Amino acid sequence: MIPCLVVTHGNLGAELIRLVELVLGPMEGLASISNENRSMAKLKADIRKWLEDPNVATAGGVLLFVDNHASSCATTAQIACAAIENCVILSGVNLAMLIGYASRRESMTLEQLVPELLQIGRQAITQLDLPDG
């Protein structure tokens, strides 16, 4: 299983995980950290603490989602993961990506999972047609 950490502003990550678990049931190895009331140093320390957890550190690869590519969450995640092997950070997290992660994390390697999640995330962003009349 590939462990995953969702690093976001406010309660977004925790709420996305709550919705994933509502659909698929409880998820081990899926956690969130908010930047709310955390300095960059504290956020980095909390991400590092998660990365150093024995269940995460021995997994052979980890996945981090952030909400915005040019944000403090993204920058801090990049700094925290700089020396970590097989650590991938994906920005623009959405519900479809997390459901895709949760349903594929046992059957795919990190290298297989990443492009799949990027495709799922992009497909979830679309303009919906309005009904006639």
| CA–CA gap between residue 12 and residue 16 (Å, rounded) | 6
Specify if 63 maps to a domain: yes
| CA–CA gap between residue 89 and residue 78 (Å, rounded) | 7
Mean of pLDDT over the chain: 95
Structural domain for 111, as ranges:
4-124
Per residue in 87-128, pLDDT (tens digit) is 999 999 999 999 999 999 999 999 999 999 999 999 999 999
Specify if 132 maps to a domain: no
Confidence at residue 113, expressed as pLDDT on a 0 to 100 scale = 97
Specify if 60 maps to a domain: yes
Specify if 44 maps to a domain: yes
Specify if 131 maps to a domain: no
| CA–CA gap between residue 84 and residue 42 (Å, rounded) | 18
From residue 89, alpha-carbon distances to 23, 66, 80, 133 in Å are: 24, 7, 11, 43
Q: How many domains does the chain have?
A: 1
Find residue 108's DSSP bridge partners.
none
Per residue in 33-91, pLDDT (tens digit) is 999 999 999 999 999 999 999 999 888 899 999 999 999 999 999 999 998 989 999 99
Q: The domain spanning residue 87 has which CATH number?
A: 3.40.50.510
Specify if 93 maps to a domain: yes
Find residue 7's DSSP bridge partners.
33, 66
Confidence at residue 109, expressed as pLDDT on a 0 to 100 scale = 94
Confidence at residue 59, expressed as pLDDT on a 0 to 100 scale = 87
In this structure, what token pair is assigned to residue 13? 């990550």
Confidence at residue 121, expressed as pLDDT on a 0 to 100 scale = 97
Confidence at residue 22, expressed as pLDDT on a 0 to 100 scale = 97
Specify if 82 maps to a domain: yes
